[in-house]
Amino acid sequence: MHLTQFSDYSLRLVLYLACHPGQVVSVDAISRAYGISKHHLVKVVQTVTELGVVEAQRGRGGGMRLAMSPAEINIGWLIRRTEPHFYLVECFDPEMNTCPIAPSCGLKGALHRAQQAFLTVLDEYTLDQFMAQRADLVVLLGDFRLQRDKADEAGTVTG
């Protein structure tokens, strides 16, 4: 199985936003945190906004935040919408299929079942289930401001 970069970035985007609940976050901040192209990320933001997963605000002071609670964002649902042509093999795409054995190949059925099983497992998860390690994710994403605020709440000093 292989997800496109678009789906990968969609998952990363919603994870980042879930780590910053209620905050308006810029594309630049997410791009820097993950070391990914801002240009690619803008396309992802547009799609997840159209899906109603993210709210985006343009202009100075703009950015985005989750439009849904993490418990409402089903991972299988999100992958299905960010992988519009989830073709594991050429013969899954009737317009591009040039495989001469496609009409009699038994492998196609097994691969289709495997793909459905993959998505069925993802259907069992919502975004909030991946937030148990939120503090660790924040550290890995390099959001030192949030770490400092958390340390201040705990009465510890950060350097």
Query: For 129, how many CA atoms within 13 A lie in the half-sphere containing its CB?
Result: 9
Domain count, the chain: 1
The pLDDT score that the predictor gives to residue 129 is 93
Do residues 43 and 89 touch, judged by C-beta distance below 8 A? no
φ and ψ of 149, to 5 deg: -60, -40
Do residues 42 and 31 touch, judged by C-beta distance below 8 A? no
Cα–Cα dist 81/76, whole Å: 9
Assigned token pair, 118: 């993959």
Q: Which of 3-17, 75-89, 98-112, 142-156 has the lowest mean pLDDT?
A: 142-156
- Identify whether 65 is part of a domain: yes
The pLDDT score that the predictor gives to residue 132 is 76
Residue 147 pLDDT level (bands cut at 50, 70, 90): very low
Do residues 45 and 27 touch, judged by C-beta distance below 8 A? yes
Q: Which of 42-51, 54-63, 96-105, 148-157 has the lowest mean pLDDT?
A: 148-157
Sequence letter at residue 112: H
φ and ψ of 36, to 5 deg: -120, 165
Domain of residue 74: give its range: 5-86+126-149
Residue 159 pLDDT level (bands cut at 50, 70, 90): very low
CATH number of 139's domain: 1.10.10.10
Assigned token pair, 53: 């997963």
pLDDT tens profile 76-100 = 999 999 998 888 888 888 888 898 8
The pLDDT score that the predictor gives to residue 153 is 54
- Identify whether 45 is part of a domain: yes
pTM: 0.80
Cα–Cα dist 34/65, whole Å: 17
